[in-house]
Chains A and B, each alone.
Chain A
């Protein structure tokens, strides 16, 4: 019986030389379509909405309250004292620092109130100053207690910093126009 011989197949190959080109094309598409820019800004948590008739006036002692009023002309009033934009940081810092060791219900509250015609940019600048004051205090506290920058703290230490120096910024309830 004659042996059945398998036919030898010619070598089949997929040409892969253009694979790189195809991949490059795809890569180019994603490179162009990608937006790397991250959104940066000043974060804030708004209070829950309470209808005006259900609002309760809570008394807050003057000792822990820093009120910041900004009117339409760009004048800034910090605790009944006219200040410039750059003074906000200097004025707030010692007050935040003096309250580091106090319990959480005695920490500083910064209340910001604006006029309806106040410039938005000015409001952001003021908010920036407040945030910066808090960040600087946090930075100093971290450096003195842990010998590191806030960025390099571990979770436990960071929690401690956040507990000691919480950022409480209150946006005043808009008043109803009479």
Chain B
């Protein structure tokens, strides 16, 4: 006796007509949420860890200042000296009054340098700052 597999008589294909629509929807989401990586970080740094940290919701008002483990300061794509910080940040604040300066400072830096940068920021009236740090688990 021959055994035969039972097969459904209906056609067995998935309708793909709406696939582009679904993909476009996804695409749209990512296009809207994307902020492209703007900076090329030239200094090496490791952020400190902390527990009581907050998130910065609005990424577009954040401006970064990096300080590497060798003490070099980077703003935008340039390595700058402490004296230049005030002028650069002042111009940034004029363009964007609600600016938040995120300090990405290497954890083995000395406070002297951090205080110097803070003083420059105060002179430039960039008063909202954020010590960037990683969530400690």
Residues of A within 8 A of B (CB): 16, 19-20, 23-24, 26-27, 30-31, 33-35, 38-49, 70, 114-121, 123-125, 127-128, 131-132, 134-135, 171, 174
Contacts and interface: CB of A to CB of B under 8 A. Distances in A.
Given A120-B109, A132-B52, A35 B23 contact: no
Given A38-B55, A38-B56, A39-B132, A46 B110 contact: no
Interface string B12-33: 0000100110011011001101
B50 A174 contact: no
Contacts of B129: 43-46
B123 interface: yes
Contact of B27 (A26, A33, A135): A26
Nearest to B115: A174
Interface of B: 16, 19-20, 23-24, 26-27, 30-31, 33-37, 48, 50-57, 59, 62, 100, 102-103, 105-112, 114-115, 118-119, 121-123, 125-135
A150 to B, nearest CB: 12
Contacts of B114: 120, 123
Give the dominant DSSP class at B's interface.
mixed
A110 to B, nearest CB: 13
Contacts of B122: 46-49
B44 to A, nearest CB: 15
Given A40-B54, A47-B122, A116-B110, 10 more contacts: A26-B27, A30-B34, A33-B34, A39-B56, A40-B55, A44-B130, A46-B127, A70-B111, A119-B108, A121-B48
Given A30-B34, A41-B53, A42-B131, A24 B23 contact: yes
Contacts of B131: 41-44, 124, 127
A131 B109 contact: no
A124 B30 CA distance: 34
Contacts of B62: 39
B34 A16 contact: no
Contacts of A46: 118, 121-122, 126-129
A27 B23 contact: yes
Contacts of A128: 50-53, 133
Contacts of B133: 40-42, 124, 128
Contacts of B118: 46, 171
Contacts of A124: 48, 50, 107, 131, 133
